Amino acid sequence: MKGKYIKGKRMTYDGSQLRSLWAFTEHNVQGNSIIAFRGPCLVEGEALVDMKDRREGRGIRSDDMVHFIVELFDSDLRRTIVVQRLLMCIIKDVIETMKPEIMVTRRGDDLYIEVDEEGLEDRKLSVSVATASPVSTLIHAGINVLSSNTPVPTLGLQDLEVEVDEFAVAVLERFVKEMKDMELARCQVRAVE
């Protein structure tokens, strides 16, 4: 597992990045990987991978996000969805480590911040999807930096006073370490009868 943060170069996530070998062809990172970059998000129509969102005519947009694109060559979609949820747990942990006074709630593959005691007005922090290509499986996770120009009530890293570059690097490092540790754990146990 390799990780790379494309720091200082803004790129719009439009769904076209969610394709096989994107990390290799665009960023020279070959194999299982996670690439992070920052920029707006605008995914609509045919570019939507989530068919429920597409059927309901919902697009995904944000003025500024940190995007994570994961590609796995040794996984099926079911396992990739588990890895997607692991990534969201790591993102939650990083935010809570950087800002211990903040409690992030994970529901499936989405992260929320409760802004009132009854939990009646949760603000969404993330978008995420997992899918398969002919040669790999892929994950996109986007974390709002700004909470403007989003189709649902949101909060962003800026609202939480979380430093974006430090956050992105911490997520990359933890995710790569976790994936490597899982591979080693698989290779250190004996068979049982």
* 180 CB-side CA count, 13 A: 11
pLDDT at residue 44 greater than cutoff 80: no
Q: What integer pLDDT is reported at residue 142 of this predicted model? A: 97
- Give the amino acid at 128: S
Q: What is the pLDDT of residues 102-114, one digit of tens each?
A: 999 999 999 999 8
* Backbone φ and ψ of 123, nearest 5°: -110, 130
**Whole-number pLDDT of residue 179:** 97
Cβ-contact 148, 63 below 8 angstroms: yes
**96 or 189, which is more confident:** 96
20 band by pLDDT with thresholds 50, 70 and 90: very high
Tell me: the pLDDT tens digits for 144-167? 999 988 888 899 999 999 999 999
C-alpha–C-alpha distance, residues 24 and 7, integer Å: 17
Burial class (CB in 10 A: 0-12, 13-18, 19+), 53: middle
pLDDT 10s digits, 60-83 = 889 999 999 999 999 999 999 999
If DSSP states are collapsed to H, E and C, what string results for the chain? CEEEEEEEEECCECCCCCCCCHHHHHHCCCCCEEEEEEEEEEECHHHCCCHHHHHCCCCEEEEEEEEEEEEECCCCHHHHHHHHHHHHHHHHHHHHHHCCCCCEEEECCEEEEECCCCCCCEEECEEEEEEECCCCEEEEEEEECCCCCCCCCECCCCCCCCCHHHHHHHHHHHHHHHHHHHHHHHCCCCCCC
- Do 170 and 98 form a contact (C-beta atoms < 8 A)? yes
CA dihedral angle for residue 53, residue 114, residue 39, residue 77, rounded to 10 degrees: -50
Q: What are the backbone angles phi and psi of residue 7, rounded to the nearest 5°?
A: -85, 140
Is the pLDDT confidence value at 94 over 90?
yes
Mean pLDDT of the chain: 92
Share of the chain above pLDDT 70, in %: 95
Classify burial at 135, counting beta carbons within 10 Å of its beta carbon; exposed 0-12, middle 13-18, buried 19 or more.
exposed
Report the range out of 45-59, 79-93, 110-124 with the highest average pLDDT.
Answer: 79-93
Question: How many Å apart are CA 64 and CA 122, to the nearest integer?
Answer: 20
Q: Catalogue all structural domains in the chain, each as residue range(s) with its CATH number.
A: 2-186 (3.30.930.10)
pTM for the whole thing?
Answer: 0.92
Give the best-scoring range by mean pLDDT among 41-45, 167-171, 180-184: 167-171
